[in-house]
Amino acid sequence: EESIRQYAARTPKSKEAYALAREYLAGGETRSIAYHRPYPLTVRRAEGCRLYDVDGNEYVDFLGNYTSLIHGHAHPEITKRIVEAVSVGTACPAGIEDQVELGRILCERVPGIERIRFCNSGTEATMFAVRAARAFKRRDGIIKMEGGYHGTADFAEFSIAPPVDPKVKRTVFEPVPESFGIPVNAGRDLFIAPFNDLDEVENILKKHHPEIAGIIVEPVLGALGVIPPAPGYLEGLRRLADTYDVLLIFDEVQTLRVHYGGAQSKYGVTPDLTAVAKIIGGGLPVGGIGGKAEVMSVFDPLKKEHLSQSGTFNGNRATMAAGIASMELLDRGAIDRLERLSERLEAGMVKAIADNAIPATVTRVGSLLNLHFTAEKPHDYQSVLNPHFDKLPLYHLEMLRRGYFLAVRGTWALSTVMSEKEIDGAVAAFGEVMEEMRP
Ligand code: PLP
């Protein structure tokens, strides 16, 4: 409560702005995830890795619009390309060369992408990846991981944060809709397995493979808190997919940034379909469905029977130009530099946790990190649960008070415009918060 009082004292204009927002926007925001107590900030301006709210407070942005701004805000090169692009028309009812160029860049970098199609969000990307798998295999069943987040299409809104059955003290592996409004029937063809558990996937496949089209998985669980795959897990999924003749779909919407060729390059496992978004749009709305040429041929209009995928703003000029600039800037050197900064942040956080004897751990893959208030590193949904979630709001507000903007769920995403100065500042602030939270 003291934390909330201090937050309110620094942000009176954000409070007013939020009250006004509630007059017009349902729930005061258009992204449910952005809400936190007592009210979210209203940001007026952003530049590089810094945000400035309507009260004039400055924050170092370690969220980067939910991991999508890998080069920070208003990067001069990306802004220049966007301005050039919009000056010849924002969107076009026919093909444009930049769409092909961004496609070429991604096909050359990501092993599992031989052909790609664009859309406007990660939600659409995973939705169409799943649809492509169903069309290719002519089967409806999909295996999804418990705690896995694939956006907000009906199929994806199952078992993201399911209740734990108190009697058996384990989660319910039936597909559980995330809220009312999600048709229960949309989960009818879903099979849920815990992350990092190959046996459960094999059990499902043994029983149901003739009705299963594919397995969708984030190579690293993102929204749940940057949970890496156990050694051999992704290879195991590849093997099971081949053995039981189903497709393997990687949701690389968040993880593309962890390596020059995405998490699939880092771990050396090539999926049949890959959903991408976030960083490939250079800060503008984007999604992409990529895959092996044979599988992606389901979209080919030259085929009598094909899967239709359209969207008014698919492959629009502004997004394609920003995406090309973003990917060009993210060369191998930039990724190496991000890796070194992330290691430095991780080491600082781990030391602060140990110095204060907090039962917490840090998970990290590339430039994505997450603090967990758990004694051991979590490996699946169940191992992330309480007391982790109870402590996050206080941690989040205390970091915010010190000028560090993080996700409420504890995620840190670094950007290439950061330097050791921002990292060391963040470690110092983090150390203070850990001292405050000392048991
Ligand atoms: N898949 C993953 C792994 C994500 O992290 C997200 C967004 O956070 C999505 C899909 C959905 O992307 P979007 O928010 O662009 O719809």
Given pLDDT bands bounded at 50, 70 and 90, which one contains residue 169?
low
**What is the predicted pLDDT for the residue at 375?**
86
Quote the pLDDT of residue 70: 98
pLDDT tens-digit readout, 263-286: 999 999 999 999 999 999 999 999
Q: Which of 122-126, 298-302, 435-439 has the lowest mean pLDDT?
A: 435-439
Q: Return the number of other C-beta atoms located less than 10 Å from residue 88's C-beta.
A: 10
- Would you state the structure tokens that stand for residue 84, as one six-digit string? 């050039």
**DSSP letter assigned to residue 35:** -
pLDDT of res. 409: 85
Residue-range domain boundaries for the chain: 2-70+331-436, 76-329
Span 311-338, pLDDT tens digits: 999 999 999 999 999 999 999 999 999 9
Alpha helices in 219-291 (DSSP H): 233-243, 263-267
| 3-state SS assignment for residue 430 | helix
Please state the φ and ψ torsions of residue 79, each to the nearest 5 degrees. -60, -45
Q: What is the mean pLDDT of residues 295-299?
A: 98
| Residues whose CB is less than 8 angstroms from the CB of residue 388 and which lie 6 or more positions away in sequence, other chains included | 225, 372, 373, 374, 378, 410
What's the pLDDT at 166? 64
pLDDT computed for residue 279 by the predictor: 98
Give 131 or 389, the one with higher predicted confidence.
131
Q: For the packed helices 76-86 and 317-329, what is the interaxial angle rounded to 10 degrees? A: 150
Structure-token pair, residue 409: 């769920």
User: In which band, very low, low, confident or very high, does the pLDDT at 168 lie, cut at 50, 70 and 90?
Assistant: low
- Give me the DSSP letters along 290-304: EE-HHHHGGG-TTSS
Residue 222 near ligand 1, beta carbon < 6 Å: yes
Residue 172: per-residue pLDDT: 62
Residue 163's pLDDT band (boundaries 50, 70, 90)? confident
Query: DSSP per residue over 350-374, as a string?
Result: HHHHHHTT-S-EEEEETTEEEEE-S
What was the pLDDT predicted at 165?
A: 72
Q: Rounded to the nearest 5°, which phi and psi values hold at 191?
A: -125, 130
Q: Does 173 have pLDDT greater than 80? A: no
Q: Which two tokens stand for residue 257?
A: 């940034």
Strand duo 170-171 + 164-165: pairing: antiparallel
Integer Cα distance of 272 and 293 in angstroms: 9
Ligand 1 close to Cβ of residue 121 (< 6 A): yes
Residues 30 and 32: their CA atoms lie apart, in Å, by 6
Cα 247 to its chain centre, rounded Å, is: 22
Q: What is the mean pLDDT of the chain?
A: 95
Is the ipTM value over 0.85, yes or no?
Answer: yes
Substitution site in 68, 149, 154, 257 for ligand 1 pocket (most atoms within 8 Å of beta carbon):
149
Q: For residue 380, which of 199, 140, 182, 154 has the smallest C-alpha distance? A: 199
**Do 293 and 299 form a contact (C-beta atoms < 8 A)?**
no
pLDDT confidence of residue 12: 98
Report how far ligand 1's centroid is from the alpha carbon of 286 (Å). 10
Q: Flag whether pLDDT at 191 surpasses 90.
A: yes
pLDDT at 410: 87
Tokens of 366: 């590339």
CB distance 251 to ligand 1 below 6 Å: yes
Instruction: Tell whether the model's pLDDT for residue 113 goes beyond 90.
Output: yes
- Report the alpha-carbon distance of residue 131 to residue 125 in Å, rounded: 10
Paired tokens of 8: 């309110």
User: For residue 278, what are its two tokens?
Assistant: 């976030």
Nearest to 202 by CA among 171, 242, 230, 162: 242
Cis before residue 387, ω within 30 degrees of 0? Answer: yes
Whole-angstrom Cα distance, residue 343 to residue 408?
22
| pLDDT band at residue 386 using 50, 70 and 90 as cut-offs | low
Residues 6+ apart with CB under 8 A from 324: 81, 98, 101, 102, 105, 282
Indicate the CATH number of 76-329 among 3.30.540.10, 3.40.50.720, 3.20.20.70, 3.40.640.10: 3.40.640.10
pLDDT tens sequence across 337-379: 999 999 999 999 999 999 999 999 999 999 999 999 988 999 9
Considering only CA atoms, which of 395, 433, 381, 350 is closest in space to residue 225?
A: 381
- Contact indicator for 419, 344 with CB cutoff of 8 Å: no
Q: Per-residue pLDDT averaged across 193-198, rounded?
A: 96
Q: Which residues are catalytic?
A: 149, 251, 278
| d(CA 225, ligand 1 centre) in Å | 13
Q: What is the pLDDT of residues 389-418, one digit of tens each?
A: 778 899 999 999 999 999 988 899 999 999
Q: Show Cβ contacts of residue 207 under 8 Å, excluding neighbours closer than 6 positions.
A: none
Q: How confident is the model at residue 104 (pLDDT cuts 50, 70, 90)?
A: very high
Report which of residues 408 and 190 the model is more confident about. Answer: 190
Going by pLDDT thresholds of 50, 70 and 90, the confidence category of residue 174 is confident
Q: Which residue has the higher pLDDT, 171 or 50?
A: 50
State if residue 411 touches ligand 1 by the CB under 6 angstroms criterion.
Answer: no
Residue nearest to atom 6 of ligand 1 (CA): 151
147 φψ region: left (φ > 0), alpha (ψ -120 to 50), beta (else): left
Share of the chain above pLDDT 70, in %: 98
Question: Ligand 1 test: best mutation among 123, 128, 250, 255, most atoms within 8 Å of CB?
Answer: 123
Q: Which of 84-93, 156-165, 174-183 has the lowest mean pLDDT?
A: 156-165
Mean pLDDT of 5-29: 96
The CATH topology of domain 2-70+331-436 is Aspartate Aminotransferase, domain 1 (3.90.1150)
pLDDT band at residue 293 under the 50/70/90 scheme: very high
pTM of the model: 0.97
State if residue 64 touches ligand 1 by the CB under 6 angstroms criterion: no
Whether residue 167 is predicted with pLDDT greater than 80 in this model: the reply is no
φ, ψ for residue 175, nearest 5 deg: -65, 120
